[in-house]
Amino acid sequence: MSFVWTLIGTITQLMLALFLFMLVVFSASGIANGPQLSKIQLAILTASMYVLPALCVLSAIIVVYLHRHGGSAMSYWWYAMPPAATVLYLAYALTLNRAA
Protein backbone atom coordinates (compact mmCIF):
# COMPACT_ATOMS: atom_id res chain seq x y z
CA MET A 1 0.00 0.00 0.00
CA SER A 2 1.28 3.40 -0.94
CA PHE A 3 1.38 6.13 1.69
CA VAL A 4 0.33 8.75 -0.87
CA TRP A 5 -2.78 6.81 -1.97
CA THR A 6 -3.71 6.07 1.60
CA LEU A 7 -3.41 9.77 2.46
CA ILE A 8 -5.41 10.85 -0.61
CA GLY A 9 -8.10 8.26 0.10
CA THR A 10 -8.34 9.23 3.75
CA ILE A 11 -8.67 12.94 2.98
CA THR A 12 -11.28 12.13 0.33
CA GLN A 13 -13.24 10.03 2.83
CA LEU A 14 -13.23 12.83 5.37
CA MET A 15 -14.47 15.32 2.77
CA LEU A 16 -17.11 12.80 1.70
CA ALA A 17 -18.25 12.54 5.33
CA LEU A 18 -19.04 16.27 5.40
CA PHE A 19 -20.80 16.08 2.03
CA LEU A 20 -22.91 13.11 3.11
CA PHE A 21 -23.89 14.84 6.34
CA MET A 22 -25.17 17.82 4.34
CA LEU A 23 -26.84 15.56 1.78
CA VAL A 24 -28.78 13.66 4.44
CA VAL A 25 -29.70 16.77 6.41
CA PHE A 26 -31.21 18.53 3.41
CA SER A 27 -32.82 15.48 1.82
CA ALA A 28 -34.25 14.17 5.09
CA SER A 29 -35.63 17.57 6.07
CA GLY A 30 -37.27 17.88 2.67
CA ILE A 31 -38.83 14.43 2.99
CA ALA A 32 -39.90 15.05 6.60
CA ASN A 33 -41.71 18.25 5.58
CA GLY A 34 -43.96 16.20 3.32
CA PRO A 35 -46.74 13.89 4.40
CA GLN A 36 -46.71 12.24 7.80
CA LEU A 37 -43.99 9.62 8.21
CA SER A 38 -43.96 6.81 10.72
CA LYS A 39 -41.62 6.87 13.69
CA ILE A 40 -39.48 4.14 12.14
CA GLN A 41 -39.08 6.07 8.90
CA LEU A 42 -38.08 9.20 10.80
CA ALA A 43 -35.67 7.18 12.94
CA ILE A 44 -33.99 5.76 9.83
CA LEU A 45 -33.63 9.24 8.34
CA THR A 46 -32.23 10.60 11.60
CA ALA A 47 -29.81 7.69 12.03
CA SER A 48 -28.62 8.10 8.43
CA MET A 49 -27.51 11.61 9.26
CA TYR A 50 -24.91 10.17 11.64
CA VAL A 51 -24.27 6.70 10.22
CA LEU A 52 -23.21 7.71 6.70
CA PRO A 53 -20.49 10.15 7.84
CA ALA A 54 -19.41 7.69 10.53
CA LEU A 55 -18.92 5.01 7.86
CA CYS A 56 -16.58 7.37 6.00
CA VAL A 57 -14.50 7.96 9.11
CA LEU A 58 -14.56 4.26 9.98
CA SER A 59 -13.41 3.19 6.53
CA ALA A 60 -10.58 5.74 6.64
CA ILE A 61 -9.49 4.46 10.06
CA ILE A 62 -9.58 0.86 8.86
CA VAL A 63 -7.46 1.62 5.79
CA VAL A 64 -4.92 3.61 7.82
CA TYR A 65 -4.73 0.77 10.36
CA LEU A 66 -4.22 -1.80 7.61
CA HIS A 67 -1.61 0.43 5.97
CA ARG A 68 0.37 0.64 9.20
CA HIS A 69 0.11 -3.11 9.77
CA GLY A 70 1.15 -4.28 6.32
CA GLY A 71 -2.17 -4.59 4.52
CA SER A 72 -2.30 -5.29 0.82
CA ALA A 73 -3.76 -3.14 -1.92
CA MET A 74 -7.05 -4.99 -1.41
CA SER A 75 -7.45 -2.90 1.74
CA TYR A 76 -8.50 0.04 -0.43
CA TRP A 77 -11.81 -1.74 -0.99
CA TRP A 78 -12.84 -0.51 2.46
CA TYR A 79 -13.23 2.91 0.84
CA ALA A 80 -16.20 1.48 -1.10
CA MET A 81 -18.27 0.98 2.05
CA PRO A 82 -19.61 4.58 2.33
CA PRO A 83 -20.61 4.92 -1.36
CA ALA A 84 -22.46 1.60 -1.13
CA ALA A 85 -24.31 2.79 1.98
CA THR A 86 -25.06 6.09 0.21
CA VAL A 87 -26.68 4.24 -2.68
CA LEU A 88 -28.88 2.38 -0.18
CA TYR A 89 -29.82 5.65 1.54
CA LEU A 90 -30.66 7.34 -1.76
CA ALA A 91 -32.82 4.40 -2.82
CA TYR A 92 -34.65 4.62 0.52
CA ALA A 93 -35.06 8.39 0.29
CA LEU A 94 -36.40 8.18 -3.27
CA THR A 95 -38.84 5.48 -2.20
CA LEU A 96 -40.11 7.70 0.62
CA ASN A 97 -40.30 10.67 -1.69
CA ARG A 98 -42.32 8.77 -4.33
CA ALA A 99 -44.70 7.47 -1.70
CA ALA A 100 -45.58 11.04 -0.78
The predicted pLDDT at position 35 comes to: 84
The predicted pLDDT at position 100 comes to: 62
Q: Strand locations in the chain, DSSP E?
A: none
The predicted pLDDT at position 41 comes to: 94
HSE-up (13 A, CA, CB side) for residue 53: 15
Specify whether the CB–CB gap between 100 and 34 falls below 8 A: yes
pLDDT band at 34 (very low <50, low <70, confident <90, very high): confident
Number of domains in the chain: 1
Give the C-alpha separation, 15 to 20, whole Å.
9
Domain range for 51: 3-99
10-21 pLDDT tens trace: 999 999 999 999
Asked if residue 50 has pLDDT above 90, the reply is yes
Higher pLDDT, 36 or 88: 88
